[in-house]
């Protein structure tokens, strides 16, 4: 026998005469409002132990969800378990509200209410859910660079709820930055980039701890900056810093999300050789030697399409979130290249170099080198 569907108005009338109305959505869905008088019991909990929540198999029970599908399915499950007087509210809470019927917000601790409402779209993803969002809340990410790549990466990592974001940059905001470095605005020109970034990100999500570090990343401080961090995100714009970050992350066993842009092209990858020695490549496997300076001009010299760092920085943020949640297939061992003019992506698979000087099996870490000299000499 199928489940009878009632209109919200019919359900409200039966509720007045003693029927039990149960909202079977998850807590984070109910935080924005639920039918007045409804009990909030998640579907899985209700189906697992209906006897704990329903007075008797003959009691009239009305189930409501967001749009009606889940309540029909839950009703069928309860019918199969012997509950004979179960109905579903057609159109769910959406139609209940459209009908102008009374809605209430559950009484929650303000911090819990903020968490559930702010991250509601994440919480609806089975791959994230409450447990995954709590994992993001406990996560710590080092972002090197608050410029073109760091701007979109920082925005979306903060919006996603990464609990601690340490941003390192020793530069000041220049008007020429504003064409692509969207963390900064006209009134920030002349101020340290990390201070400008911290102000914007705290305004976006006050739940996230933003730690601005106005410093140049060098061999003497790179390990301290990575201490306690779960993932490193490379938003730098020069070869010496890329090699340094790579070597430090290999030594400390930290995954590094790499990105680079120039003119109309960009690339992104994940280097995780520190945790997967002998299996995953590192930055040195991809670039054993830096190109001569004349073949690798920076953005100030060669120019860059303003939207390009946004695309690559968003991909970096995506990879970082995936790594923190342990979901999907990261770009480990894969280099994703993007051509903005042709609007094309191309993927290559750089091999792990068994002779790599920093992660080869059985080879001790050689120590940090003079990266500026190494790069200026072209290897």
Angle between helices 308-325 and 129-138 (to 10 degrees): 110
From 108, 113, 124, 101, select the one nearest 42 (Cα to Cα). 124
Stretch 2-18: mean pLDDT, rounded? Answer: 94
What SS3 state is found at 334?
coil
Q: Model confidence over 330-347: pLDDT tens digits?
A: 999 999 999 999 999 999
- Which residues, other chains included, contact 327 with Cβ-Cβ below 8 Å and sequence gap of 6+? 127, 128, 132
| pLDDT on residue 330 | 97
Q: What are the backbone angles phi and psi of residue 377, rounded to the nearest 5°? A: -90, 0
Q: Which fold has domain 122-376?
A: Rossmann fold (3.40.50)
Q: Does domain 4-109 have CATH number 2.60.120.10?
A: no
pLDDT surpasses 60 at 378 = no
- Which residues, other chains included, contact 116 with Cβ-Cβ below 8 Å and sequence gap of 6+? 27, 28, 31, 108, 123
CA-CA distance, 336 to 235, in Å (whole number)? Answer: 16
* Residue 309: how many other CB atoms lie within 10 Å: 29
pLDDT surpasses 60 at 1 = no
| pLDDT on residue 276 | 85
- Looking at 231-307, list the stretches that DSSP marks H as alpha helix, in order from N- to C-terminal side: 239-252, 283-286, 299-302
pLDDT surpasses 90 at 299 = no
From 122, 162, 128, select the one nearest 143 (Cα to Cα). 162
* Residue 19: how many other CB atoms lie within 10 Å: 19
Query: For the chain, give me the number of helices (H) and strands (E)?
Result: 16, 15
| pLDDT on residue 241 | 95
Longest CA span, the chain = 85
> Can you give the residue ranges of every domain in the chain?
4-109, 122-376
Lowest mean pLDDT among 28-37, 62-71, 226-235: 28-37
Report, in angstroms and rounded to the nearest whole number, the Rg of the chain calculated over CA atoms.
Answer: 27
pLDDT surpasses 80 at 30 = yes
Q: Model confidence over 47-71: pLDDT tens digits?
A: 999 999 999 999 999 999 999 999 9
User: Which strand (E) or helix (H) includes residue 288?
Assistant: none
pLDDT surpasses 60 at 357 = yes
Q: Model confidence over 105-123: pLDDT tens digits?
A: 888 889 998 999 999 999 9
Q: Model confidence over 120-150: pLDDT tens digits?
A: 999 999 999 999 999 999 999 999 999 999 9
CA-CA distance, 28 to 116, in Å (whole number)? Answer: 5
Strand duo 231-234 + 209-213: pairing: unpaired
Q: What is the pTM of this model?
A: 0.86
pLDDT surpasses 60 at 294 = no
Where residue 295 falls among pLDDT bands split at 50, 70, 90?
low
Q: Give yes or no on whether 4-109 and 122-376 have one common fold.
A: no
Percent of the chain predicted with pLDDT > 70? 96
pLDDT surpasses 90 at 166 = yes
pLDDT surpasses 90 at 296 = no
Terminal Cα distance for the chain, rounded? 76
Q: Please give the positions annotated as active site.
A: 299
């Amino acid at each position: 026998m199928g489940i009878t569907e009632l209109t919200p108005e019919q359900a409200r009338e039966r509720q007045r005469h003693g029927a039990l109305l149960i909202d079977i959505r998850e807590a984070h869905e109910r935080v924005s409002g639920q039918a007045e008088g409804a009990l909030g019991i998640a579907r899985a909990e209700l189906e697992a132990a209906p006897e704990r929540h329903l007075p008797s198999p003959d009691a009239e029970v009305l189930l409501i969800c967001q749009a009606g599908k889940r309540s029909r399915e839950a009703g069928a499950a309860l019918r199969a378990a012997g509950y004979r007087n179960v109905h579903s509210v057609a159109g769910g809470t959406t139609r209940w509200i459209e009908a102008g019927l009374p809605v209430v917000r559950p009484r929650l601790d303000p911090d819990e209410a903020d968490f559930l409402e702010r991250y509601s779209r994440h919480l609806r993803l089975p791959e994230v859910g409450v447990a995954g969002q709590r994992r993001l809340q406990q996560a710590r990410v080092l972002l090197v660079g608050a410029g073109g790549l760091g701007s979109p990466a920082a925005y979306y990592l903060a919006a996603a709820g990464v609990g601690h974001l340490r941003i390192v940059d020793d530069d000041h905001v220049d008007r020429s930055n504003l064409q692509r470095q969207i963390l900064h605005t006209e009134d920030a020109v002349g101020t340290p980039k990390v201070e400008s970034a911290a102000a914007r990100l705290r305004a976006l999500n006050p739940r996230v701890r933003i730690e601005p570090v106005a410093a140049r990343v060098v061999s003497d401080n790179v390990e301290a900056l990575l201490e306690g961090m779960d993932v490193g995100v490379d938003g730098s714009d020069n070869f010496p810093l890329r090699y340094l970050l790579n070597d430090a992350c290999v030594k400390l066993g930290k995954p590094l999300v790499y990105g680079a842009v120039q003119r109309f092209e960009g690339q992104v990858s994940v280097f995780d050789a520190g945790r997967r020695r002998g299996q995953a490549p590192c930055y040195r496997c991809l670039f054993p030697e830096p190109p001569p300076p004349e073949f690798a001009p920076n953005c100030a010299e060669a120019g860059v399409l303003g939207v390009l760092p946004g695309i690559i920085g968003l991909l970096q943020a995506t990879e970082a979130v995936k790594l923190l949640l342990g979901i999907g297939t990261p770009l480990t061992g894969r280099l994703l290249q993007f051509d903005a003019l042709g609007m094309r992506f191309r993927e290559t698979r750089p091999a792990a170099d068994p002779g790599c000087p920093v992660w080869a099996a059985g080879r001790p870490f050689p120590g940090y080198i003079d990266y500026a000299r190494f790069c200026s000499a072209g290897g």
